[in-house]
Structure 1
Amino acid sequence: MAFTVDDRLIQVTEVLIRKVSGFFDITDEVSASFSEICTDLEELEAGTVIVPQDGVYGDVFLLERGWVTRSRHLETGARQIVNVALPGDFVAMNALLFSTSDFELRCKTDVAAFRLPADRLGSALARDPMFAAALFWVNAHEESLLAERIVSLGRRTARQRTAHVLCELMARLEIIGITDPEQFIIPMSQEEFADVLGISVVHMNKTLRSFEREDVISFRNALLLVKDRGKLEHEAGFDDGYIQFSSRKDRNAWRPSSLQAG
């Protein structure tokens, strides 16, 4: 069965709704705003650079399928992968604020993404407070991911970092509808994981093999088999509150009345 562009937009919008559920109500007006600006669905091949480091921003993208890496390349040739965008995530949101990018945005896999012209997106934000709130949530969510990455790089051991990033990716994939709790497709190499975690490839390999010997996980050819998730989460000290913070008890639930008050 072939899906139309409208069908695919509905699906990716449903992913966004699952992410923000409990934070505020997604109104019909917010859905309509997405439909209005998400008109161009583009197919990008793996390896395509959406925005180069120090390159000029263009439009914003909403991922419908595929993975995109955000990385910084140093003069030494070293690379730090800062984050990974998954389906339902926005890419190049900083195009609304800045003209050039400090990071490279590259398609890790083949990607399908809705192109959101920055000027039309800005206009939608200006006229629809709830639409602006939805994107505010998205930005806050990414900030939480980056803050947790800093904690890993600064205070966790290589083993803890590895366990934590795997738990994080599993939790993010489950939010967007991956339902098998025991196996996940994670299209990243050991070298790329090493560049996420700030360790050598050799150290990364040794860490993965130690988890495999303990029958916790197996990671081969992009397939992650999870044999003891409880032990992996314990090793990481993993708490998914920073990912699932829309359901936290201390959250502020935004509603149209609260945004329009005063």
Structure 2
Amino acid sequence: MTLSTSDRSLVEPVFRRLNALRILSAEARASLEYAMLEGLERAGSGEDLISEGDPVDSVRVVLSGWLCRYKTLEDGRRQIVNFVFPGESCDAHAYLLSVMDHSIATLTPVIYTEIKRTRFESLVAADRTLAEAFWCETLVNNAVQREWAINLGRRVALERVAHLFCEIFERLRPVGMVDGTSCLMPITQMDLADATGLSVVHLNRTVQELRASGLIVLRERTLTINDLDALKDAALFSPSYLQLYRRS
């Protein structure tokens, strides 16, 4: 397979993300690149890539677009339990379980790749750096879930929303999706409300409070953080759980 510049650009967020956790060998990068480009898929906004209860036989890695992990109660209420951004996998090791315990849906149009279980297991077995990078990603996802539990259980509304904005900004930074103090925010207030456990009215009021304080600007699907340190202070946010800095 001959790789074009556009092909390499498409998969670059994945390597930026994994290299932030472990430096991949040249061999690992080459083999993963081919595997990803062979399994390219597209989905529109509002589609479930996988539903709770479905069996899992492949690893999905997001190349562009935003997704969410969510669970729904019997009466239809939805709780978003995490977002999935470009460069991240939809649970690299979920195939070790019998079925999915949550659903993953697109929030925007997405491009992703699907690597079958046997192919993925061969890739990580052949290269320790690749295996460690994906395991690190799984551990970071677990840390994110713990932080979100604290968000819902202990932080007040303003802290919750500010913390989520800080986390989104910091998670997009390693994959090159931050432009100065701004990043895309292509999701609805309902999505943000479902992620923070707030009503849409309460969410809107909280966003307005952050705007009025001069900490953020949220306009035209773009989030601008005027003072990241001040926003982190307001959110009681420390990025250490995201493991953004490799050990030497």
Same fold per TM (> 0.5)? yes
Structure 1 pair 130–225 and aligned structure 2 pair: CA distance change class (3 A): closer
Q: How does 1:21-60 map to 2 (within 5 A)?
A: 24-38=22-36, 39-60=38-59
Secondary structure of the 1:112 match is strand
Q: Give the deviation of 1:191 after TM superposition.
A: 1.2
CA distance in 2, matches of 1:40, 1:196: 30
- CA deviations 1:61-90 (Å, max 9, x no partner) are 111111111000011221110111111100
User: Structure 1 residues 100, 219: CA separation in 2 closer, same or farther (over 3 Å shift)?
Assistant: same
Larger CA deviation: 122-131 vs 138-147: 122-131
Which is worse superposed, 224-233 or 145-154? 224-233
CA RMSD of aligned residues (A): 2.0
In the TM superposition, 1:103-142 aligns within 5 A as 103-142=102-141
Whether 1:8 and 2:7 are equivalent positions in the alignment is no
CA distance in 2, matches of 1:200, 1:114: 34
Which residue does 2:189 correspond to in 1?
Answer: 190
TM-aligned CA deviation for residue 94 of structure 1: 4.1
**Which one-letter code corresponds to 2:30 in the other structure?**
A
State the shift of 1:3 in Å.
Answer: 4.2
The question of whether the paired residues in 1 share the 8 Å contact of 2:187 and 2:221 is answered with yes
After superposition, the Cα gap between the structure-2 partners of 1:183 and 1:4, relative to the gap in structure 1 and judged at 3 Å, is: closer
Unmatched 5+ stretches in structure 2: none
Q: How far apart are 1:109 and its partner, in Å?
A: 0.8
Output the CA distance in 2 between the equivalents of 1:168 and 1:90. 17
Structure 1 runs (4+) deviating above 4 angstroms are: none
Give 1:106 shift: 0.7
What is the rounded CA distance, in whole Å, between the counterparts of 2:126 and 2:55 in structure 1?
27
2:226 alignment partner in structure 1: 227
| TM-aligned CA deviation for residue 161 of structure 1 | 0.6
Gaps of 5+ in 1: 254-262
Aligned residue number for residue 87 of structure 2: 88
Query: What's the offset of the Cα at 1:228?
Result: 2.8
Between 1:172-181 and 1:191-200, the stretch displaced more is 172-181
Tell me, in whole angstroms, the C-alpha distance in 2 between the residues paired with 1:7 and 1:150: 35
- AA in 1 matched with 2:99: T
The count of residues paired between Structure 1 and Structure 2 equals 244
Q: Percent identity?
A: 28
How much does 1:146 deviate? 1.0
Is the contact between residue 217 and residue 224 of structure 2 (CA under 8 Å) also seen in structure 1? yes
**1:119-150 Cα distance to aligned partner (Å, 9 max, x none):** 21122233433321111111111111111111
The letter for the 2-side match of 1:148 is: E
TM-score (norm 1): 0.85
CA distance in 2 between counterparts of 1:96 and 1:53 reads 13
Output one character per residue of 1:17-53: Cα deviation in whole Å (capped at 9) or x when no partner: 4422xxx432123213313422221121112211012
User: 1: distance between equivalents of 2:223 and 2:178?
Assistant: 14
